[in-house]
């Protein structure tokens, strides 16, 4: 399956769901599913880069995920630390910049230290960006952005009368990241679960039944092909989007 490069999304965001069910189906502990999920992260990061897709955002840990059993939260943090340690070299080799969105300051110190080191080591790269959503929630993000915006207004750096989406969006965690074109959720659930609610306002959504540990480059390509078939209208009509025949063009 191939999709013309101009038809590919520039930014894919993924809700990686189904690790627990993958493990359960095999009578394995849930953490085994997460472990396999980490290998999928590596494979899909490579695949998006090979396709020339410049931005990939992965929902790795939500603000709600702290409510999981302590043992699972600890194991997920351990896996994150392991991933960051193992992958920094590969990211440098492949010239991939790592960014993080979420309340990073609330992460355990060991994870935070690895994360900051990996981001620092890759900050000079501009071709490809991997964004990890960590301790992320869209509602929390809006609260944080509103607070930062209000502080800027109080300090005279922004004028309330000039408020617009373009100014406000600069206070979101994603200020330097383009909006996602395509959001994929694995495991058959059709929910957004507090992920990039504002940034995905005009994104295409694809829900696939495949569990995250089973998600492959082939499934990624199939999602890209489906994306290429869709017409994004941004509030306009289909006719408005049709190219004007050159004879009629002004």
Please name the residue that has the structure tokens 């110190």.
Answer: 109
We find the least distance from the C-beta atom of residue 90 to ligand FPP, in angstroms, to be 13
Nearer to ligand FPP, 3 or 98 (CB): 98
- Kindly state whether residue 137 participates in binding ligand FPP, applying the rule CB under 6 A: no
Q: Are 130 and 83 in contact (CB under 8 A)?
A: no
> Quick check: 31 binds ligand FPP (CB under 6 A)?
no
CB of 24 to ligand FPP, least distance (A): 7
**Cβ atoms of residues 214 and 22 within 8 Å:** yes
Binding of ligand FPP by 60 (CB under 6 A): yes
Of the two residues 20 and 180, which places its CB atom closer to ligand FPP in the complex? 20
Smallest distance, Å, CB 98 to ligand FPP? Answer: 10
Cβ–Cβ < 8 Å for 184, 223: yes
The three-state (H, E, C) secondary structure of 208-222, written as one string? CCCCHHHCCHHHHHH
83 near ligand FPP (CB under 6 A) = yes
Nearest residue to 129 (alpha-carbon basis) of 101, 102, 104: 101
Residue of 14, 99, 132, 145 interacting with ligand FPP (CB under 6 A): 132
Q: How far is the CB of 79 from ligand FPP (least distance, A)?
A: 5
In Å, the largest CA–CA distance within the chain is 67
**Residue located via tokens 């929390």:** 140
Does residue 34 interact with ligand FPP by CB under 6 A?
yes
Distance in angstroms (rounded) separating the CA atoms of residues 50 and 67:
36
58 near ligand FPP (CB under 6 A): yes
List 65, 144, 179, 194, catalytic entry? 65
How many residues are given for the chain? 250
The residue from 17, 19, 135, 181 that is catalytic is 17
What tokens does 147 get?
A: 């607070």
Determine phi and psi for 75, rounding to 5 degrees.
Answer: -65, -40
Active site residue 17: yes
Give helix 109-122 / helix 70-93 axis angle, nearest 10°: 20
CA distance 160 to 143: 17
Near ligand FPP by CB under 6 A, which window of 35-43, 110-118, 161-169, 218-226?
A: 35-43
| Cα(57)–Cα(60) distance, integer angstroms | 9
Q: Which is nearer to ligand FPP, 188 or 218 (CB)?
A: 188
CB of 157 to ligand FPP, least distance (A): 34
- Is 65 one of the catalytic residues? yes
Q: Contact residues for ligand FPP (CB under 6 A)?
A: 16-21, 34, 37-38, 41, 58, 60, 65, 79-80, 83, 132, 187
Catalytic residues: 17, 65
């Amino acid at each position: 399956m191939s999709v013309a490069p101009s038809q590919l999304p520039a930014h894919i965001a993924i809700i990686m769901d189904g690790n627990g069910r993958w493990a359960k189906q095999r009578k394995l502990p849930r953490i085994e599913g997460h472990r396999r999920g980490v290998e999928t992260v590596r494979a899909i990061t490579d695949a998006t880069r090979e396709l020339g897709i410049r931005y990939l955002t992965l929902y790795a840990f939500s603000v709600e995920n702290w409510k999981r059993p302590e043992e699972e939260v600890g194991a997920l943090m351990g896996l994150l630390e392991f991933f960051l340690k193992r992958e920094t070299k590969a990211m440098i080799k492949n010239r991939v910049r790592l960014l993080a969105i979420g309340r990073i300051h609330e992460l355990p110190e060991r994870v935070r230290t690895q994360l900051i080191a990996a981001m620092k080591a890759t900050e000079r790269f501009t071709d490809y960006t991997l964004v990890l959503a960590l301790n992320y929630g869209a509602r929390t993000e809006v609260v944080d952005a509103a607070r930062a915006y209000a502080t800027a207004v109080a300090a005279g750096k922004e004028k309330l009368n000039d408020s617009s989406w373009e100014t406000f969006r600069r206070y979101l965690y994603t200020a330097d990241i383009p909006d996602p074109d395509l959001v994929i959720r694995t495991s058959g659930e059709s929910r957004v679960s507090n992920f990039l609610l504002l940034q995905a306002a005009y994104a295409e959504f694809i829900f696939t039944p495949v569990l995250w540990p089973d998600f492959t480059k082939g499934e990624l390509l199939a999602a890209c092909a489906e994306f290429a078939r869709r017409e994004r209208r941004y509030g306009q009509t289909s006719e408005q989007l049709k190219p004007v025949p050159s004879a009629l063009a002004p």
